[in-house]
Structure 1
Amino acid sequence: MPALLRSFTPADILARLPELGALLQECVHDGASIGFILPFDSAASQAFWMDNVLPALTRGVRLLLVAEVEGKVAGAVQLDWDTNPNQAHRAEVRKLLVAPAFRRSGIARLLMQALEEQARQLSRSLLTLDTRSSDHAQGLYLSLGYVVAGSIPAYALAPAGDRLDATTIMYKQL
């Protein structure tokens, strides 16, 4: 069954908090370098959505796109345009997540393409993001036309807490 994309509202976050929390937790436990380290429990995962994403959605400075497959949350991505006045032309891609059971099915590409269309509608002509260097996601971003601006060594602690990983900074002009 194909994925259905929806723009989540603050009410949707509250109604689907356990599923969003499970998505984030699954991705972290699967090794995704998205800002969290193990141990990472459901309370911490749900707190991210409540304390970080919900306030930004409520303020109208972030978009949360969610992919659903057969009614189940399968993936998500955020567009953050909470920028200074001299950066009103750009936005940041945040937390592209696809549940391990749904990977390699085109959901990440679908989410990114929809996110780019939303950015265009917001008159954002430059998107930026960072990803763990040599991660699978880097290949996806390159295939979507993102350009490597550079890399920073020892940028973030790996999810297992056992090493420092480099990050690659990327951008795309829309």
Structure 2
Amino acid sequence: MAPVRGACVGAVACVHFPSQPHPHPRPRVTPIVITPLPRPAADPDIRALAELLRDAVQSGAAVSFLATLTVAEAEAWWRNAIATAHPNAVFLVAREEGRIVGTVQVHPAWAPNQPHRMDLAKLLVHREVRQGGIGSRLMVAAEEAARAAGYTLLTLDCKRGGAAERLYRKLGWTFVGIIPNFAVDPDGVTPHDDALFYKPL
């Protein structure tokens, strides 16, 4: 898949935008380039992805982890996720001057009777560069990757009522329903509901 270029710029997958953007996002003066992550991933990319995941969790994202997540734990999670992923899975990264500032992934459904479906997971954008369209571009690139691979249906879920839900509705995803008290926030205490979405390709 060719790089996507432009000047702006976690069964069902768990996908959430952090609820607390950086108070002073950096003005963007360099282009964002979106490409598939090479597999196996290089150590610097693993470290960058680990920091990106920790940034998301520390800013309130509901992406399966608690605020106690360490860099070592995040690196181990990424290494395992990439190493054990289906051969058709796609990990996309958004880079600014080589630095990873965003990511998303799509995975084929495990069930043999769902060969047409992929789960979209772990949409993350660093606090410093949010509100600049990177999340939307990652989503579009993920949809294009799934379509190019022959898949016809995407599914995801997100914390109810957040920026992620608004983004998915804006991008044409169909809301299915709510699972009450699905998980807790990174504080390990506060429960939240889960919103389910799908999108035909």
TM-score (norm: length of structure 2): 0.82
Aligned-residue offset at 1:149: 0.4
Letter in 2 for 1:78: Q
Letter in 2 for 1:113: V
Matched, 1:54 2:83: yes
Letter in 2 for 1:60: P
1:85 is aligned, of 100, 112, 115, to: 112
Residue by residue over 1:2-36, the C-alpha shift from the partner in whole angstroms, topping out at 9 and shown as x without a partner, is 21011012233434111111000101001000000
Q: Flag the structure with higher helix content.
A: 1
- Counterparts of residues 2-151 of structure 1 (less than 5 Å): 2-56=31-85, 59-151=86-178
Letter in 2 for 1:111: L
Aligned-residue offset at 1:76: 0.1
Residue by residue over 1:83-115, the C-alpha shift from the partner in whole angstroms, topping out at 9 and shown as x without a partner, is 322101110000000000010011001100010
Whole-angstrom CA distance in 2 between matches of 1:93 and 1:11: 20
Which 4+ runs in 1 deviate beyond 4 A? none
Letter in 1 for 2:37: F
Whole-angstrom CA distance in 2 between matches of 1:13 and 1:111: 21
Whole-angstrom CA distance in 2 between matches of 1:14 and 1:63: 18
Whole-angstrom CA distance in 2 between matches of 1:153 and 1:19: 33
Whole-angstrom CA distance in 2 between matches of 1:88 and 1:142: 25
Range moving further from structure 2, 149-158 or 2-11: 2-11
Percent identical pairs in the alignment equals 34
Whole-angstrom CA distance in 2 between matches of 1:55 and 1:7: 17
> For the aligned residues, what is the CA RMSD?
1.2
Length, aligned pairs only: 172
Higher relative contact order (CA 8 A, sep 6+): 2
Q: Verify the 8 A CA contact 2:40 2:82 in the aligned structure 1.
A: no
